[in-house]
Every structure is written in structure tokens, then in C-alpha cells.
Amino acid sequence: MPTEAELRRHRCCFTGHRPEKLGAPEAEIKAALTSAIRAAIPDGYSVFISGMARGVGRDTGAGWDSPHKK
């Protein structure tokens, strides 16, 4: 069984600015996050964590569906 330290190496946590401070359309931000999450999965990342504060984590969805897509 992996140790907690080993498991942490495969987690990705993210946060971001409030929507009015992003400087790009929400759809563009969501597409970029989805792309980044999909790119991280083959590198061994399997857990994606967001603080769910107003902004990137909550308002854009932060690519929540992408880890389950093939």
C-alpha cells in the first residue's frame, strides 16, 4: 500500500482569481484547465482538488468531467 507521501505526488490542487479578474472568457479558462487536467492524467495524476471558492474552481467547473473522459 502506498504511503501518504507517495499518494501526494499524484494529486493536483488548484485555485484561482475571481471571475472578474481572470482577464479571459470563462470558456477559454475552462478549456485551458480541461486540457491541463487531461495532460496530467497520463503523468500519473489521479486526484484533482479545488478549494471551490468563487472563481476558477467553482465557477468554471475546472474541467471536473475531463478525468472521466477517454
Sequence spans of domains, the chain: 4-68
State mean pLDDT over 20-33.
81
Measured between alpha carbons, how far is 49 from 10 in angstroms, rounded to an integer?
11
What is the per-residue pLDDT for 64? Answer: 54
Per-residue pLDDT at 43 = 93
Please tell me the predicted confidence (pLDDT) of residue 39.
Answer: 92
pLDDT of 1 above 80: yes
Q: Which distant-in-sequence residues (6+ apart) come within 8 Å of 57 by Cβ?
A: 14, 15, 16, 50, 51
Model-wide pTM > 0.85: no
CA distances from 31 to 3, 5, 10, 24, 62 (A): 33, 30, 22, 11, 9
Instruction: Report pLDDT for 28.
Output: 85
Task: Look at residue 53 in the predicted model and tell me its pLDDT.
Answer: 67
